[in-house]
Structure formats: structure tokens, C-alpha cells
Structure 1
Amino acid sequence: MYCDTQLFIDGQWRPAATGATLDIENPATETVIGHVAKACETDLEQAVTAASTAFKTWKARSPLERAKIMRRAAELLRERVERIAELMTQEQGKPLAQSRAELLGAAETIDWFAGEAQRGYGQVIPARADDVQQLAIKHPVGVVAAFTPWNFPVNQVVRKLSAALATGCTIIVKGPEETPASPAELVRAFSDAGVPAGVINLVYGVPAEVSEYLVPHPGVAKISFTGSTPVGKHLASLAGQHMKRATMELGGHAPVLIFDDADLDAAAKEMAQAKFRNAGQVCIAPTRFLVQASVYEAFLDKFVAEVRALVQGNGMSEGVTIGPMVHARARDNVAAFVEDAVERGATVLAGGARGDGAGYFFQPTVLKDVPTDARAWSEEPFGPVALFNRFETYDEAVAEANRLPFGLAAYAYARDHRTVSNLTRDIESGMLTINHNGIGLQETPFGGIKESGYGTEGGSEAIESYLETRYVSQGAR
């Protein structure tokens, strides 16, 4: 059963100071299923105050203590997977199996960062004099303001939240208004695990109003944002004006390079699964398929067969493998991209239309021979649309893969050792996976380059942006 969602400030679940709320829709039925509290400036100021006060004591907790609490939160999350997965599917639309997988992955993320809590190493720097000791010491930066999207309501929050807590920071999460209940349950698991009041604060509201208040606030030391490139640029600029640290995980338009010696069966299966997971609403989703001409038609046949096997429907129903898009705007945006591509000469091999009846459904779509001047070929469609074109030479494929200003994720399939080696050098992307789908693991870097942002939210480097280095030189006198 779905429930209304309140703000979590200073250890208390509470309504907004004004009592204002926002409606929550089930995207599979277009019905209002609940409400979420809409924060005002009073709520935001109280959240900053609570986080600032709690920082003084949380940073003093030993890394071992923080890790124990985090691991308990991971245990609680695993115990509550079934109930939270149902909430996530109702508010976001993804099939239950994908909701469960997201939550179990979130528990792994918490465990990973709990381990990192005990590895915030500094340095002892060899001194020039025998009676001098030189130290580089790591300290938590302070209060973090994190802004997260709706496509992975828990996974997007848990990386920022876990990194902050592991390093001794406190945090204010601006959660996604479209999908508020599942991240609230994540926060509840941390609270029930023993995280002190004020260490975690969760707010919802009008995104621009919340960010314009929190980013320049003198009580906030670091910003972490996941979302579109235009919004990310604005927040990065605002953070820069106030000398705030920022991690930006922004938009992508991931190319997939299929060479003529690739394992076409494996590539078709793995890339179809990756493309249409979460109805294509994934920042790292493979989108522009560049296939060598000699295997172009053969690969398309295999890929389309995989797409036709997908079952679209309400994510709560058994056997469904692709759900609706999150809201009408997202669905209509994808429809406009497809219409534009077809008008310019693309051929529809599968899908291509809105779903019938209620719900924000768009059919899983494959477009062949997409012209390079089609909007979707250069603007991220962020939906269940796979775009195909062919190439002749390696250089041609790499030039097209690198043409756009984005550089978040890229995929490639090839057996030739020289091709694989050259791709690792030539593809301009923060993440490249070759001959399998290996992106998004907790122990590996996760982030982009170029206009896809900067910083990483995975791997051993993920905690660095939550820590500052202080140098201490101590003489014997």
C-alpha cells in the first residue's frame, strides 16, 4: 500500500511548515496515489541548522562506529526489500524485479562505503630535517547538499548519502518529487540503524527553489548533483560563485560500436537489456548504435528480435519487463524525437508509438538509418528508443562516437586486440565497457567527462570529494 511522504529534518518525520503538498501519480495508471510534503525556506533553513549542529559530533565518531551503523542500515534495507520495491514500482513504473535489484544494489553500495569509511588515509611526508614531521590529514568537508533524480530513486541517493556518512559529513538530500516514498524508506533504514538526528535530512519541493536556497547557503560546504547538463551547468556556476565543492553527474548520449568481428548474439542480448531497462530512462543507457556495414542488417535482426520479446505493462504485473515512462512530459518528449527522426527519413523497425489506454507508455522502439540531422541523434532522448546507423571504418566510428559534447558512458564489441586497445585510448568517455556490460559497480568509478560532468560516485575515489586535505608540519621545539 502506498503512503504519503513527509520531510525528515533533525531526526523527525514532519509535514512542511506551510502544510503544502504535491501529488504523486502512478505512471502506469495516471492516478494520484499519494502526496509528498513540499518544503519552504523555513524547512530548508531548519535542515541546514540541524545538519550543521550534527556535523560537530558525527565527524568525531570513529570510522569504525560509522561503518557499523551503515552496515546495520544495509541489513535493514535488505530485510525491507519487498515492501520498498512495491512502493518504488508504484511511483516510478519500473518492473518489480528491477526495483528489487535496485534496492539490493543499494545495500551493496552502503556496505562498500562502510568499508571506505575506514580507508580515508592521509600521508606522512618525508621531511628535510630530522626533527620535523610532515602530515597530510583528511577531514570531512562539512554539510553536503545532494540533489537526486527520479529514474533510480534509491540508487541515486544512496551513493551520495553513503559517501557523506562514511567520511563524517552530514547531508541534506533534495529527493525526487515524482518518486518520494522509496528514498524516504532508505533514509528510514539509516535512522532505524542508529544514525543520530540531524546527520541525514530529506526534503522535497520545487527543485529550482530548493537549489537556489541551498547551494549558496553559507552552512553548506559541498554540492552533489545528478541530472541534466543544463541544470548541472547552472548549479556548478552557482557553486563556483561561492567556492563550493561540486560533483556533477550529468547527461549522456552513449554510443555503442559494433565491429564486424563482434559476438553479435551476445551484443544484441546485452545491449537490448541495457537499452530498455527502466524504459530507457537511464543516464548511461546505450543510445546511438554504430554498426559496421558488413554486419549491420544481421545485428539489427538480432536486436529487433530481443526487443520484440519484451513485455510492456504495469510493473506490478508478473512477467512485465518494461514499464511506463515516469510522466506525460517524458513520454511526449520521446514521441516528438521519434516523429522528427521519421520525418527526416528514419525507418521504424519496432515500436514507434505511444501505448494504448491509460499510463505513460511508449513502445520499445528501434529506428534504422537515423539521419545525423535528426534531433535524437544529437539530443539525449532519455527513453525507450534505440537509434541505428552504419559505419565503414574504425576512424569513422570513433569520430561519430566522440562528436557530441557528452562523455558519460560508451559501449563496444570487437574481438580484434588492436581494435580493443585503440578504443581504450580513443573513446572520449568517463566509462567504457567492451564486450560486456560492466558499468555501475560499486567498486568502479562512476562519472563523466566533457559536458557529462566531473567527479566520481563509485570506486575508491568516490570519497575524495567529501574530504579536504590539511597539511601539518610539526617541529621538535
Structure 2
Amino acid sequence: MSEAERLNAVGAPGGTGKAVEDYAELALFINGRFIGSGEGRKSQEVVNPATGETIGRLPHATVADLDEAVRAASAAFADWRRVPAVERGQILRRAAELARERAPSIARGITLDQGKPLAEALGEVNACSEHAVWHAEECKRIYGRLVPARQAGVRQLVEREPIGVVAAFTPWNFPFNQAIRKIAAALGAGCTIVIKGAEETPSALVALARLFQDAGLPDGCLNVVWGVPAEVSEHLIRADAVRKISFTGSVAVGKQLAALSGSLMKRATLELGGHSPAIVCADADIDAAATLLAAQKFRNAGQVCISPSRIYVERAAHDRFMDTFLDRVRGIRVGDGLAPDTTMGPLTHARRVRQMTELVEDAVNRQARVECGGEVLDRPGYFFAPTVVTNIPDSAYLMTLEPFGPIASVTTFTATEEVLTRANSLAYGLAAMGFTSSPKTSQALSQGLQAGMVSINHWGFGAAETPFGGIRDSGWGSEGGIESFDGYLNTKLVSETY
């Protein structure tokens, strides 16, 4: 990248001096109480990834805090499970209203500790309020059924009952989105929940605790804890009262938690990593496909589990695609998320910057070509230039390991059967995309792509009413859609004489 390109990409700094003063007061939330540092609790710094500056301190839960959170959730479950679904829904609706009212301040906190542009953070809060609304309505439709008996005088009922206390774990890339999905599903089903968010991006979850409390949620139904991830997760999963695990994060950690929860016969929903293929056929609207893929690939600096990270373009359309795609990528303005003209913020961790460098170096060593970007930006914070790599072999790390950053890999194909084999060659199976004007090819792609979610000719993921989840190494179960409650309910047969 030339100096002129670098200056164009970086944009103006956001000026975070006053912003740090506005950052949320961080705390645990247990049995209706916000608990700060003190009483022997450890704490850790929270850093603004756009500047590298400390903006807050987050208290860690002690073992006694974790036990109290589980006890509070267990005690609250005895009453909450009997609250009519209509009343549970009213609280969820009120929480959604408060989230929209407070969206500007919540979004500002997300930008400060996670890094994404303020417009993206605001969109995350507003859009994800719909999850609370949807679950408020759908929880009224948790129906049982009557099964005709084989003998007179017998009635057979199938009932759905809340499973109990939920232990949930959410990641740092969408701190509001991932938390509200789990909270709304658990509470809507009649469960109570202890949730641990990502320590790097805590403000959104603390804000969620405050708005659910203000919405009238009884004490103990929602509890928020922080700490060393491996220690907190093992302690909560092993707690006798916890009956359900919900985790969003990496494949490696997900497998560890799955093994632990399975050994204890506890149900788990796991939404793990992805390495999403996007197939662009020569008969597609090439400009539209390139524009959409550029926007979605570099959203949240590429730190998105369903990001289109392996782009396969039919050879005949490659040059047309690259002209538009590179034009869109070079127009991205990188900077502090609080700056009004920023369209891509920093990576959330310094370690992500190092990983991007290693991925590019490996690709270049395998004769790939860097079309733009490919380097760390020389400024404070954790910034990596929007990068496009072509002529990349399928064996490169960029094509086999989830990059989770602002690097797009573009390669060519010649036949549908060939590209489907390549797209399905990894153990991931979260999301996949296809672009074509042919109904026959569309059907071949939608049926042939092995993923929990497939979208053709548009971006169709993440709505509250649709299931979100993967297959194979990308996870078990779904969040969203009518499937959302499945992991939070037990099925009971009642067969009785009359």
C-alpha cells in the first residue's frame, strides 16, 4: 500500500478523550445486585482497541460469586417457570423498548471496547432488540399436544417444560447480539440464566443486565459474571443446578465444553466457527455480488463467524468481479469507530493483528498475490489494512483456517461440481452463499452446499424468526426461529386415567 493509499484508508482519528469518561461502570450482576471490585476480587483492564488505552476495569467473580449466581438462578427458577408466558413476554417486550431507547449509549460503549464503527454498533443494538420481541411472541406458542390413547379411559398429554438453569457463554465480536439471543430464549422458555460474556467487551452485557432489571425481571432470573474463561466455564458447567449450556465461540473451546457437558449429561447448544464459501457464477449479477460480498466481508473488520471468507469466482467472470470488488475495498475508510467517516474499525485484539500478518505471509510464500492491503497500519491501536488476496491455493492457511479478520481470499473455478467439492472440503459447516441467475444452478448450490445456512443472491442470515446455527464442526442446534426454544425445553409424556 502506498502512502497515499494508507492515508486514504486510515481516515481521521475519533478523539476518544471525553469518550473514556462516558464508558460504562462495569460490574457483576448477581441476584439483582450490581457488584464492583472489592472484597478480594481480581479485576482486569478493558482496552479501547482503536487507541490501546485503558478505558475501564472489570471485576472477576470469585468462586463464592459463581456459587451465589447459580443459587440465585436456581431459586428464581422455581417461581419464573410458573410465570405465564404472556407475562414473560411482556418483560421481554419492555426490555426491547428500553434497548432501543438506550441504543446510542449502548452502541457507544460497544465501539469503545470492541472497536466497530458506531453506525454498526447502533445497528447491532436496534436490530437485535427484535430478538427479545420475537421471543416474547413465540414463547406464547410453546404448545404441547394430545396423543390419542390405545385404550378407553386414558388421556395422553405431551408437555414442554423449561429445562432449568442455563449457563451461557458469549463472544466479543457481537457482544449485544450474542447475549440477547441467549437471554431472550432462556427467559422466554421459562428458564433462568447465568451468563459470562467476553471480558474484552463487557459494556453491552452490563447494559443488558440494567435494562432487564428496569424492565421488571425478577431478581435471580438473569445473572452476569466475569473471570478467567476456562475457570468460570468449568465451574458453572459442573454446578449441579445447571442443566443447559449455550456457547458461542471457537471450535476448539466448543469441543472442550461439549465434552464436559456430555460427560455430565447436560444439554448443549454450540454455535462455533465458520469459514464461509461464496460461489459467484458467471451468469450472476457480478457488480451486485461483488458489492455485497465486499460489504459483508469487511463488516466488523471481518470478525464475523459467517463472513464470506472463501470467495470462488467462475473464471469467465473473474476480471469483472475483481474490478468492482477491489474498487469497493479500496474505498473502505479505516479508523476509530467514533469518527463519523470510519467504515471499518480496528481488530479487537493485538493477537488478531499478528494472526493476519502470519496468514498473509503464508499465502505469499505459496505464490498468492496481494491485490491490496496486506499490512499492519502504522498508528496506535490494532489496525490491519483491508486486504484482498488472489491466486491462492486451497492448501493455504487462509483457505483452511478461519481468518476472522479483514482478509478476503478470491480464487477461480470452472465447473459447479468442482467448486462444490472445494467449498465442502473443510470441517466447517456454518454459512455459505451462492450467486447465479440460473434456477437450475441455484438449486444445485442450495442443495449441494453443506452448511446450516445457505443464502442465494442476497444476504439472508440472522433474522430473529430464522434459525441460526451450523453443522459438523460449526456446532449443534440453532438460535432463532421456532427451533430456538428446543434446547431450553424438556419433553414430558403424561399418561393418566380418568
Any residues of structure 2 matched to 1:361-440 within 5 Å, and which? 361-440=383-462
Code of the residue aligned with 1:78 in structure 2: it is R
Code of the residue aligned with 2:290 in structure 1: it is A
Equivalent residue for 2:222? 200
| C-alpha displacement of 1:82 | 0.6
SS at 2:157's partner residue?
strand
Code of the residue aligned with 1:102 in structure 2: it is E
| C-alpha displacement of 1:319 | 1.4
Equivalent residue for 2:176? 154
- Whether 1:209 and 2:231 are equivalent positions in the alignment is yes
Equivalent residue for 2:28? 7
1:421-462: CA deviations, max 9, x gaps?
A: 111221100000000001111111100001000100011110
- Whether 1:119 and 2:141 are equivalent positions in the alignment is yes
> Which of 285, 299, 302 lines up with 1:280 in the alignment?
302
- Whether 1:472 and 2:478 are equivalent positions in the alignment is no
- Whether 1:35 and 2:57 are equivalent positions in the alignment is yes
Equivalent residue for 1:174? 196
Contact 2:27-2:36 within 8 A present in 1 as well: yes
Code of the residue aligned with 2:115 in structure 1: it is G
In the aligned structure 2, how far is the partner of 1:225 from the partner of 1:459?
18
What is the number of residues matched between the two proteins?
A: 476
Code of the residue aligned with 1:390 in structure 2: it is T
Code of the residue aligned with 1:15 in structure 2: it is G
Contact 1:85-1:99 within 8 A present in 2 as well: yes
Say which is worse superposed, 137-146 or 33-42, in terms of deviation. Answer: 33-42
Any residues of structure 2 matched to 1:252-291 within 5 Å, and which? 252-291=274-313
| C-alpha displacement of 1:342 | 1.1
Any residues of structure 2 matched to 1:40-51 within 5 Å, and which? 40-51=62-73
TM-score, normalised to structure 1, is 0.99
- Whether 1:350 and 2:372 are equivalent positions in the alignment is yes
| C-alpha displacement of 1:3 | 2.9
In the aligned structure 2, how far is the partner of 1:321 from the partner of 1:108?
24
| C-alpha displacement of 1:373 | 2.0
4+ runs of 1 displaced by more than 6 Å?
none
| C-alpha displacement of 1:57 | 0.5
1:204-225: CA deviations, max 9, x gaps?
A: 1110000111112111000000
Equivalent residue for 1:237? 259
1:147-180: CA deviations, max 9, x gaps?
A: 0000000000010000000011000001110000
SS at 1:388's partner residue?
strand
Contact 2:41-2:62 within 8 A present in 1 as well: no
In the aligned structure 1, how far is the partner of 2:135 from the partner of 2:266?
23
- Whether 1:56 and 2:78 are equivalent positions in the alignment is yes
Code of the residue aligned with 2:421 in structure 1: it is A
SS at 1:221's partner residue?
strand
In the aligned structure 2, how far is the partner of 1:108 from the partner of 1:196?
22
The sequence identity of aligned pairs, in percent, is 48
| C-alpha displacement of 1:334 | 1.2
| C-alpha displacement of 1:348 | 0.8
Equivalent residue for 2:342? 320
Contact 2:446-2:455 within 8 A present in 1 as well: no
| C-alpha displacement of 1:187 | 1.6
Contact 1:456-1:462 within 8 A present in 2 as well: yes
1:181-227: CA deviations, max 9, x gaps?
A: 11110121111100010000001111000011111211100000000
Any residues of structure 2 matched to 1:53-132 within 5 Å, and which? 53-132=75-154
- Whether 1:458 and 2:480 are equivalent positions in the alignment is yes
In the aligned structure 2, how far is the partner of 1:257 from the partner of 1:289?
6
| C-alpha displacement of 1:132 | 1.4
| C-alpha displacement of 1:411 | 0.6
SS at 1:56's partner residue?
helix
In the aligned structure 2, how far is the partner of 1:396 from the partner of 1:300?
21
TM-score, normalised to structure 2, is 0.95
In the aligned structure 1, how far is the partner of 2:364 from the partner of 2:211?
47
Code of the residue aligned with 1:5 in structure 2: it is L
SS at 2:297's partner residue?
helix
In the aligned structure 2, how far is the partner of 1:38 from the partner of 1:94?
25
Code of the residue aligned with 1:58 in structure 2: it is W
SS at 2:298's partner residue?
helix
SS at 2:402's partner residue?
coil
| C-alpha displacement of 1:19 | 2.5
In the aligned structure 2, how far is the partner of 1:472 from the partner of 1:97?
51
Equivalent residue for 1:297? 319
Equivalent residue for 2:357? 335
Code of the residue aligned with 1:173 in structure 2: it is I
In the aligned structure 2, how far is the partner of 1:401 from the partner of 1:142?
39
Code of the residue aligned with 1:217 in structure 2: it is A
In the aligned structure 2, how far is the partner of 1:87 from the partner of 1:426?
41
Code of the residue aligned with 2:415 in structure 1: it is T
| C-alpha displacement of 1:4 | 3.2
Q: Which runs of 5+ in 1 are unaligned?
A: none
Contact 1:331-1:354 within 8 A present in 2 as well: yes
Contact 2:107-2:125 within 8 A present in 1 as well: yes
Q: Which runs of 5+ in 2 are unaligned?
A: 1-21
Contact 1:251-1:408 within 8 A present in 2 as well: yes
- Whether 1:218 and 2:240 are equivalent positions in the alignment is yes
Code of the residue aligned with 2:233 in structure 1: it is S
Code of the residue aligned with 1:412 in structure 2: it is G
In the aligned structure 2, how far is the partner of 1:460 from the partner of 1:442?
10
Equivalent residue for 2:47? 25
Contact 1:263-1:414 within 8 A present in 2 as well: yes
SS at 1:269's partner residue?
helix
In the aligned structure 1, how far is the partner of 2:40 from the partner of 2:323?
56
In the aligned structure 2, how far is the partner of 1:421 from the partner of 1:402?
16
Say which is worse superposed, 134-143 or 344-353, in terms of deviation. Answer: 344-353
1:379-423: CA deviations, max 9, x gaps?
A: 001000000110111111000000000000001101111111111
